[in-house]
Amino acid sequence: MITADAERSAAIILSGRFHLDHPVDRVRSAVLRATAHGVYEARLNGRAVSEAVLSPGWSSYEWRLPVSSDPVEHLLRAENTIEVLLGNGWWRGDLGFADAKVRYGDDLGFIAEIEIAYADGTTQRIVTDERWTAWTSDVVSNDLYNGQRIDARLRQGRDALAVREVAFDRATLVPRVGPAITRQGLLRPTRTFISPSGVTLVDFGQNLVGWVRLRARGARGAAVMLRHAEALDEGELAIRPLRSAEATDVFVLSGGDDEFEPTLTFHGFRYVEVTGYPRAITSDDLEAIVVHSDLRRTGRFSCSSDLVNRLVENSVWSQRGNFLSLPTDCPQRDERLGWTGDIAVYAATACTQFDVADFLHDWLLDLAAETAHADGRAVPAVVPDVLKFGPGGGPHLMRDLPTAIWGDAAVWVPQALWHAYGDRDRLAEHYPAMTLHLESVIAQLSPTGLWDRGFQWGDWLDPDAPPEDPGRAKADAGLVATACLVRSADFAAEAARILGHEEDRIRWENLAADTRAAFMRRFVDASSARLTSDAPTSYALAIVFGVLEGEALLEAGDRLAQLVRDSGFVVTTGFAGTPYVTWALSETGHVDEAYRLLLQTECPSWLYPVTMGATTIWERWDSMLPDGSINPGEMTSFNHYALGAVVDWLYQVVAGIRPASPGYARLRLAPTPGPGLDWASATLETPAGVVESGWERRDGIIHVRVVVPHGVEAEVALPDGTARRVDGGVRHFTCADPVTQDVARC
């Protein structure tokens, strides 16, 4: 691995020259294999070797440093020059929050080889070594949180730097599994205007993740500054939610025609404040470049409510922005970490909207590595685990003790992938981390068999909690954790059965049964059949996670429905309960309450942010208050996908597309009409083929249409309770409308 010494904040250029051993027309294939400590962009003979940016992305660098392999035979000449722009990225980017200033190392580094195969069977290898040269670049500073400074005057007359080798552990090199980060499109400004303070603001109409490409011509040495934010506060750029992240790019003009694109950083933003531009800025002068991991869209949902359709698109946009190398919590402030709890509750939704098989598999390999090397063998709160580097990243208990939901990501994310894709080999790769998680939890159980000891996040961000204390929830944290353990033990037993681990299967089944019994003894009031923690999240988890059975299950559903009605159909659940509350209602026969909860527009609700102009999912129900001001809480992101987990329910219940076997090898299509919608439909690309399911209400009759891939067996469960067995093709059914029937009975 090679590097060159320059200012710590600056990016450098590394360059190598080589000539071919044989004529270009004798080249059969050529591949560039490369990775870096930092992030790099490689060009061969002046052309980019791939569409990737911010390579190699972020991973648990101590154990996994992904190596990209890109074909380059089409770029070769007799004499060749490869140039690599090398920046800080996540390697020494002062990661974390609360001034943690985490970094993996002090030296940047780049390692590569070009392997060329000729028609005569010979090969040629070009490698990075001290014979390469190095230069200063026009990137004066680059930081993921703070932004990038580019000085166009430095594009001519670069200074030479001394190249040296950097020692590193070659055992960390692994083939890249996850998709590359790429440009995914561009957005033009929807309006440009002057703020009350007199500065120029640009609105792109959509909260996005990426950067701004700018064109300018002005006096040599003049600086144009772009500040980014997601929202406005009293007509000005709302920078308080960014905390310490500066999110600012500065472009210094050369005196000629300049174009700037800050590809060594990224921002979460909708609005940009522009100062120093040499004339009145227009929409032709700049454009927003959307950046995220290269994921293929697989799911589409639509219905008769424009607000719900916008909610689904908000979830899509939040997934795009936060699936940048790994699943992060938010893309804008001084955090952007791989919080395990967020993806634990969102993984099923993620699988409906995009093909995330490789993306989440790659992240789970990091989770396994971090857990295996953790002192307490507990799943970290964030993966990659930067909290372990310094006290500023969080208290000791967040790193060494297992926590429900966050730690359960080791089980729930593989569970979502198994149901969506049915890949047994990958399930086997994920299984060891499941067992590590369960072992760490068992060590923390109280003598009663409950998971009610140690630190827990609980029902984080309960909407009734004060902004300054987001952990003060109505639901008992021990109840939440114990219910989560039932779910995790149940799926671990299923995974053990699938993988042929018979002793494990018995052990995890016993753990699930014992935990279920302990839950019933402690949290179910025998006299009233109510839970001792009489909160919507408590009932939602106990129902959906299979803790309750029989009459207790039905009574819990009735009580949950009553609590939802008593609340006026606003959301009263926090981070733990919200992804499951509509599921709990519909699975216990309370479809009407689930629909009314979904369609509520008063705060807190899923649709309140939509009525306030949201184009992504918010961290808080009221990240923006009804008067248009920003929530005073320290954590106020406008791009947090977790609360968008309700979209999975829209696909599986409202539209009715469910896997009856892993990977959709068999289907259960059960479209479920409810009050407030006239029609709903979804399309999903599955490993078995494209599936469609939907319904429409016309004149008291429900019309159901499904499309089943050929060779796939499907059970179609109609809203009137009847069922049909069908094979491939398009099928139409009709039945009485259960909503109008219920009205008639009333």
Catalytic residue set: 335, 619
Residue 341 in contact with residue 457, Cβ under 8 Å? yes
- 3-state DSSP assignment of residue 651: helix
- Residues 6+ away with beta carbon under 8 Å from 170: none
- Residues 6+ away with beta carbon under 8 Å from 547: 483, 486, 516, 519, 520, 541
- Residues 6+ away with beta carbon under 8 Å from 469: none
Distance CA(44)–CA(20), nearest Å, equals 13
* Amino acid letter for position 605: S
Which helix (DSSP H) or strand (DSSP E) does residue 708 occupy? strand 701-708
Distance CA(186)–CA(738), nearest Å, equals 45
Residue 192 CB: number of other CB atoms within 10 A? 17
Distance CA(207)–CA(614), nearest Å, equals 8
Distance CA(192)–CA(297), nearest Å, equals 31
Report residue 550: phi and psi, to 5°.
Answer: 55, -135
Residue 153 in contact with residue 251, Cβ under 8 Å? no
Q: What is the largest CA-CA distance in the chain?
A: 87
In the structure encoding, which two tokens stand for residue 632, read together?
Answer: 């005073």
Question: DSSP string spanning 351-390?
Answer: HHHB--HHHHHHHHHHHHHHHHHSTT-PPPSBSS--GGG-
Distance CA(541)–CA(576), nearest Å, equals 8
Distance CA(296)–CA(316), nearest Å, equals 12
- Output the CA torsion sign for 614, 615, 621, 623: negative
